[in-house]
Amino acid sequence: MTFTVIIPARLASTRLPNKPLADLGGKPMVVRVAERAALSGAGRIVVATDHQSILDACAAHGIVALMTRDDHPSGTDRIAEVARELDLPPEAVVVNLQGDEPLIEPALLAACAARIGADVPMATCAHPLRDAGDAFNPNVVKVVLDKAGRALYFSRATIPWARDAFAQAAQARPAVLPAILPAGYVPLRHIGLYAYRNDFLQAYPQLEMSPLETIEALEQLRVLWHGHPIAVHVTDAAPAPGVDTPEDLERVRAHFA
């Protein structure tokens, strides 16, 4: 399948200023991300940015970048602007790859893009959770699927809830969360990689915000609330974590070193 990867990259970052330009083995992070995306088989890689310094850094390394408005409320709005600028057809598939994922597995991008179809305007990814700490961590987003592999719901809560097994664990150790997940219970962790059919990507910013996304602080719930399906590609292995903190940055720098 032919698809376009658009990488939103803002210079401002609360926890890690100038993150897209952070040096990773002699190249800016955003360039490293684009280079990983180029291994996915994508037909085109474009960085969507709001700052001249990122534009210049990409140009210096032969990466195509386009300037966008600086007042977009989300990265999705930013990539929608670039898709319009590229004049992509309605049926084109666009993958939204965050600019802080320099270790992303390229095959994951292609697998996510492949889930888009005539009746599926949006896709994302997930992987099995094996650790109880992650399963009960509200910062780890979970997803449950229907039999066709489409999302039923995303939540920061532990879903699905293993009623009987968790009740037995609570009786044994009241007020203590289980340290080991029950046998056969494998929740799915959502991976924040998205693919869109371009006509839906252009319509998405106009969708009314939903009460669910406000409660959970999960933007993708807006799509389900409005009745649009989200296909989910499930991969066996957890992807390498992105760069959110100075500690993450040092870890990734060690990788490139």
Residue 249 counted as domain residue = no
Question: 204 and 116 in one domain?
Answer: yes
Q: Are 26 and 77 contained in the same domain?
A: yes
Produce one character per residue of 125-164: b if its CB has 16 or more CB atoms within 10 Å, e if not: bbbebeebebbbeeebbbbebeeeebbebbbbebbeebee
pLDDT digits (tens, 9 = 90+) for 160-195: 999 988 888 777 666 556 678 888 999 999 999 999
The single residue listed with the structure tokens 């390229």 is 106
A 10 A CB-CB count for 215 gives 11
Task: Based on the fold, state whether residues 147 and 219 are members of the same structural domain.
Answer: yes
pLDDT of residue 14: 67
- pLDDT single digits (tens) 101-152: 999 999 999 999 999 999 999 999 999 999 999 999 999 999 999 999 999 9
**228: confidence class by pLDDT, cuts 50, 70, 90:** very high
Statement to judge: residues 146 and 170 lie in one domain: yes
Rounded-to-integer distance, Cα 109 and Cα 33, Å: 12
Measured between alpha carbons, how far is 195 from 3 in angstroms, rounded to an integer?
A: 9
Average pLDDT over residues 93-102: 96
- Tens of pLDDT, residue by residue over 6-36, are 999 988 776 788 899 999 999 999 999 999 9
Beta strands in the chain (DSSP E): 4-9, 23-24, 27-28, 44-49, 65-67, 93-96, 122-128, 142-145, 151-155, 188-197, 230-234
Q: Look at the chain and report how many structural domains it folds into.
A: 2
**Is 200 in the same domain as 147?**
yes
| CATH of residue 162 | 3.90.550.10
Q: Is residue 172 part of a domain?
A: yes
Amino acid at 30: V
Q: Please give the residue range of the domain that contains residue 117.
A: 105-239
Look at strands 44-49 and 4-9 and give their pairing: parallel
Average per-residue pLDDT in the chain? 93
124 lies in the same domain as 235: yes
What is the reported pLDDT for 214?
Answer: 95
Shared-domain flag, residues 125 and 185: yes
* Co-location of 35 and 109 in the same domain: no
